A and B are shown apart, each in its own frame.
Chain A
Amino acid sequence: MTPFEEDLKKALARVEPPDGFTERLAARIGALPARKRRPVYWRWAAAAAAAAVLFSGVSYEHERQARGEAAKEKLLLAMRITSSKLQQAQHQIEEVESH
């Protein structure tokens, strides 16, 4: 066995803990503050906030869709009225010209 191997053997030799080590360790663990758990209501609040964001997003899109459809209908109504009045003017002109 080489000196190096002897040193290694010594270093890795099993060493019994000193007397009272286990008790002292258990006492120190008991003295540590208990790990704080995040309260449950935070999870509910986060879920409610996510639901509110989702709901407001959906309702905004729904409202935008409704406003857009209403604007489109108004636009088509305006086009119909304008076109019909221009047609009326054209007919009147034709009638005047024919007399």
Chain B
Amino acid sequence: MKQPFLKLIMVGLSLSCLCAAEEFKIPAMDRMAARAKETVDVTLDQSMLQLASGFLSKDDPDEAKVKKLVAKLKGIYVRSFEFSKEGEYSASDVEAFRAQLKQPGWSRIVGVKSVNGENTEIYVLKSGDQLGGLVVLAIEPKEFTFVHIDGPINPEDLSELSGHMGIPEIVKPKAKAEKKEE
């Protein structure tokens, strides 16, 4: 009688472990880090986000926006490598990483390839009607950046932060057109 219950607990535990280990891995990360001129490695799990959020002021409107944005998030992971010359990482390194984004639920919503080799890909994890996660891959000749926002996120909320606290301002096409008219 107890066995099905135990199995259920085991399945639950293994599922919770899978969720906890949601962070993507960059297979060639150590090699890329060794060759990089600059490396940014940000790992903020839920407890760190809560800690960071506690140090954001409610009275400061900008910080309050970030506080609200991260309130429901489970984690933020950023890896960025800047190289002094081209060819420090291969297409297969990127492909090995990209393969992880082929798991169920994830879909690519943006894929831009530019002539100067600056490619950007945006992936989202659909969770019901809302987004359950966001991955941004910026693949450039001398730079590789990966951002994973784990948890419900609205990209528009991110754009609201632009232009504040050192976050670059995102100029919307309409605003751009208006500026041109001026």
Chain A residues close to B by CB (< 8 Å): 67-69, 71-72, 74-90, 92-96
The answer to whether the Cβ of B168 comes within 8 Å of any Cβ in the partner chain is: yes
Total A-B contacts with CB atoms under 8 angstroms apart: 105
Residue among B66, B110, B120 facing the most chain A CB atoms (10 A cut-off):
B120
Bitwise, B77-106 to A at CB < 8 A (1) or not (0) is 010100000000000000000000000000
Chain B residues close to A by CB (< 8 Å): 40, 42, 44, 48-49, 51-56, 66, 70, 76, 78, 80, 110, 112, 114, 118, 120, 122, 136, 138, 145, 147, 149, 155, 158-159, 161-162, 165-170, 173, 176
Partner of A77, one of B42, B145, B176: B42
B80 proximity list for chain A (CB < 8 A): 81
The smallest beta-carbon distance between B54 and chain A, in angstroms, is: 6
- Is there contact, CB below 8 Å, between A79 and B110? no
Partner of B42, one of A67, A74, A92: A74
A–B pairs, 24, beta carbons within 8 Å: A68-B55, A71-B52, A74-B42, A74-B48, A75-B56, A76-B66, A77-B42, A79-B158, A79-B161, A81-B78, A81-B80, A82-B78, A82-B147, A83-B167, A84-B168, A85-B147, A86-B122, A86-B158, A87-B169, A88-B138, A89-B136, A92-B118, A92-B120, A93-B112
- Is there contact, CB below 8 Å, between B145 and A85? yes
B120 proximity list for chain A (CB < 8 A): 85, 88-89, 92
A87 proximity list for chain B (CB < 8 A): 162, 168-170
**Do A77 and B40 form a contact, CB below 8 Å, given A69-B55, A86-B158?**
yes
Majority SS at the chain B contact face: mixed
- Is there contact, CB below 8 Å, between A81 and B170? no
B173 proximity list for chain A (CB < 8 A): 94
**Do A71 and B170 form a contact, CB below 8 Å, given A78-B76, A78-B147?**
no
B159 proximity list for chain A (CB < 8 A): 83, 86
- Is there contact, CB below 8 Å, between A90 and B78? no
The smallest beta-carbon distance between A99 and chain B, in angstroms, is: 10
A88 proximity list for chain B (CB < 8 A): 118, 120, 138
CA–CA, A83 and B169, complex, Å: 8
**Do A72 and B112 form a contact, CB below 8 Å, given A81-B145, A83-B158?**
no
- Is there contact, CB below 8 Å, between B56 and A72? yes
- Is there contact, CB below 8 Å, between B168 and A83? yes
- Is there contact, CB below 8 Å, between B78 and A78? yes
CA–CA, A85 and B80, complex, Å: 11
